[in-house]
Amino acid sequence: LKKMNRFAHSIDDAAKQIDVNEILELMTALADRLAAMRSVSIDNRSTQDPVMLKTVPFHLLNLLWLILDFAMGVTGDDKTVELVPAATSTGASVSFRRLGDLSPSASTDFPTELENALLTQVGAELTVNVEKKEIILGLNDSIT
């Protein structure tokens, strides 16, 4: 209930400094039940060190969920999505790894217009790496 309340109130937040680890923890907690219904595990590899970024939390949460939802559909036999946040020279990144069924044909359907709109709103870019079986969300720390 506490996490749902936190999510509901995130819509009121303008751009602010956040820790990507905390956003991933919230998103993972909200998604766990839906993941379990799909027999998928979420392996959140949040770091001990904060990964700080200025962004609009509600938009970022929505974008992360949409990417995770797609990723859960392409896990393959492993049935696990690994989330790996990292600080970068331009802001932060979140890698969605262990996507065994990620293929060129699957990646042509993603991102959709909705993800592209959110990518623009949060000043981010998405890289679908079929060879490494991962999707990388690059987040720029330049949103105003």
**What pLDDT is attached to residue 117?**
96
d(CA 51, CA 5) in angstroms, rounded, equals 23
Predicted local distance difference test score (pLDDT) of residue 142: 72
- Provide the domain limits for residue 134: 2-140
Residue 13 has a pLDDT of 61
Residue 63: per-residue pLDDT:
98
> Cα 141 to the chain's mean position, in Å?
16
- Please state the φ and ψ torsions of residue 115, each to the nearest 5 degrees: -60, -40
Question: Which pLDDT value is given to residue 112?
Answer: 94
Give the 3-state DSSP-derived string for the chain, with helices as H, strands as E and coil as C.
CHHHHHHHHHHHCCCEEEEHHHHHHHHHHHHHHHHHHCCCEEEECCCCCCCEEEECHHHHHHHHHHHHHHHHCCCHHHCEEEEEEEEECCEEEEEEECCCCCCHHHHHCCCCHHHHHHHHHHCEEEEEECCCCEEEEEEECCCC
Amino acid 10: pLDDT: 47
Q: What is the pLDDT of residue 37?
A: 97
Q: What is the CATH number of the domain that holds 7?
A: 3.30.565.10
pLDDT of residue 7: 46
Please state the domain count of the chain: 1
What are the pLDDT tens digits along the chain (144 aa)?
454 454 444 455 688 999 999 999 999 999 999 999 999 999 999 999 999 999 999 999 999 999 999 999 999 999 999 999 999 999 999 999 999 999 998 778 899 999 999 999 999 999 999 999 999 999 998 765
Inter-residue contact 117 to 85 (CB < 8 Å): no
What are the angstrom distances between the C-alpha of 105 and each of 102, 108, 127, 128? 8, 5, 15, 12
